[in-house]
């Protein structure tokens, strides 16, 4: 029950699918949406989704559909 460094390993982070596949081949870490450098587990579905990643993912506006993704994130860094 530590509250420290190990906790993020227990979440399933959102990562671009391409990178997950590359990581699955290489075992190389990927950068999650939340910025966490993370090696996806064999079965991420058994972990809860990282709240930060989920928030970021949802703020990317995937649910709206049709607002224009390209215009949305411009200049935000």
The contact set with Zn ion (CB under 5 A) reads 13, 32, 34, 36, 50, 52-53
Instruction: Using the CB atoms, write b or e for 41-56: b if 16+ within 10 Å.
Output: eeebeeeeebebbbeb
DSSP run (H or E) holding 31: strand 30-31
CB-based closest residue to Zn ion: 50
Cβ proximity to Zn ion: between 2 and 67 the closer is 2
DSSP run (H or E) holding 28: none
Q: Least CB distance from residue 68 to Zn ion, whole Å?
A: 26
Cβ proximity to Zn ion: between 18 and 70 the closer is 18
Cβ proximity to Zn ion: between 8 and 61 the closer is 8
């Amino acid at each position: 029950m530590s509250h420290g460094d190990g906790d993020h390993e227990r979440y399933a982070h959102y990562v671009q699918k391409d990178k997950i596949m590359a990581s699955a081949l290489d075992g190389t870490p990927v950068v999650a949406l939340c910025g966490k450098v993370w090696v996806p587990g064999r079965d991420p579905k058994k972990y809860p989704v990282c709240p930060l990643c989920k928030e970021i993912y949802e703020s990317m506006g995937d649910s709206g559909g049709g607002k224009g993704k390209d215009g949305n994130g411009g200049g935000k860094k």
